[in-house]
Amino acid sequence: MIKLFDTTLRDGTQGEGIAFSANDKLKVCEKLDELGIHYIEGGWPGSNPKDVEFFKNAKALSLSTSKICAFGSTRRAKLKAEDDPNLKAIIDVDTEVASIFGKSWDFHVIEALKIPLEKNLEMIYDSIVFLKEHGIEVIYDAEHFFDGYKRNKEYALSTIKEADKAGADCISLCDTNGGSLPFEIGSIITEIKSDIKSKIGIHAHNDSECAVANSLEAVKKGAVHVQGTINGYGERCGNANLCSIIPGLKIKMKLDCISDEQLSKLKNVSAYIAELGNISPEMHQPYVGASAFAHKGGIHVSAIQRHPDTYEHIKPELVGNRTRVIVSELSGRSNIIFKAKEYGVDLESADSKLDFILEKIKKLENEGYQFEGAEASFELLMKKALGTYKKFFDLEGFRVVIDKRGDMDSRSEATIKLRVNDKEFHTAAEGNGPVNALDKALRKALIGAYPEIKNFNLTDYKVRVLEGEEGTGSVVRVLIRTHGYNKMWDTVGVSENIITASWYALVDSVEYGLSKFVDVNK
CA 59 to chain centre: 26
CATH architecture of 394-517: 2-Layer Sandwich (3.30)
Termini Cα distance of the chain: 56
pLDDT tens for the 522 residues of the chain, in order = 999 999 999 999 999 989 898 889 999 999 999 999 999 999 999 777 888 899 999 999 999 999 999 999 999 999 999 999 999 999 999 999 999 999 999 999 999 999 999 999 999 999 999 999 999 999 999 999 999 999 999 999 999 999 999 999 999 999 999 999 999 999 999 999 999 999 999 999 999 999 999 999 999 999 999 999 999 999 999 999 999 999 999 999 999 999 999 999 999 999 889 878 878 789 899 999 988 988 776 667 667 667 777 888 999 999 999 887 766 555 566 666 766 666 566 666 546 677 777 777 777 767 777 776 678 888 888 888 777 888 899 989 899 998 877 777 788 999 999 999 888 999 999 988 898 999 999 999 999 899 999 999 888 888 888 765 555 557 888 989 999 888 889 999 999 888 999 999 999 999 999 999 986 544
Nearest to 269 by CA among 247, 291, 248: 247
User: Residue 96 and residue 42: Cα distance in Å, rounded?
Assistant: 12
| Secondary structure of residue 282 in the 3-state scheme | coil
Contacts of 461 (CB under 8 A, 6+ apart): 435, 478, 479, 480, 481, 502
**294-386 in CATH: which number?**
1.10.238
Q: Indicate yes or no: pTM above 0.85.
A: no
Domain extent listing, the chain: 3-258, 294-386, 394-517
What are residue 172's phi and psi, to 5 degrees?
Answer: -95, 115
Number of C-alpha atoms within 13 angstroms, CB side, residue 51?
Answer: 25
User: For residue 452, with 0-12 CB atoms within 10 Å meaning exposed, 13-18 middle and 19 or more buried, which class applies?
Assistant: middle
Question: Hey, what CATH class is 3-258 in?
Answer: alpha beta
Return the amino acid letter for 108.
H
Common-topology check for domains 3-258 and 394-517: no
Q: Taking the CA atoms of 86, 92, 93 and 95 in sequence, report the sign of the dihedral they define.
A: positive
Residues 44, 80 contacting (CB under 8 angstroms): no
**Cβ–Cβ contacts within 10 Å for residue 215, how many?**
29
Partner residues linked to 380 by β-bridges: none
Strand blocks (E) in 236-354: 294-295, 324-325
Please give the Cα distance from 249 to 225 (Å, whole number): 12
Q: Is 479 helix (H, G, I), strand (E, B) or coil?
A: strand
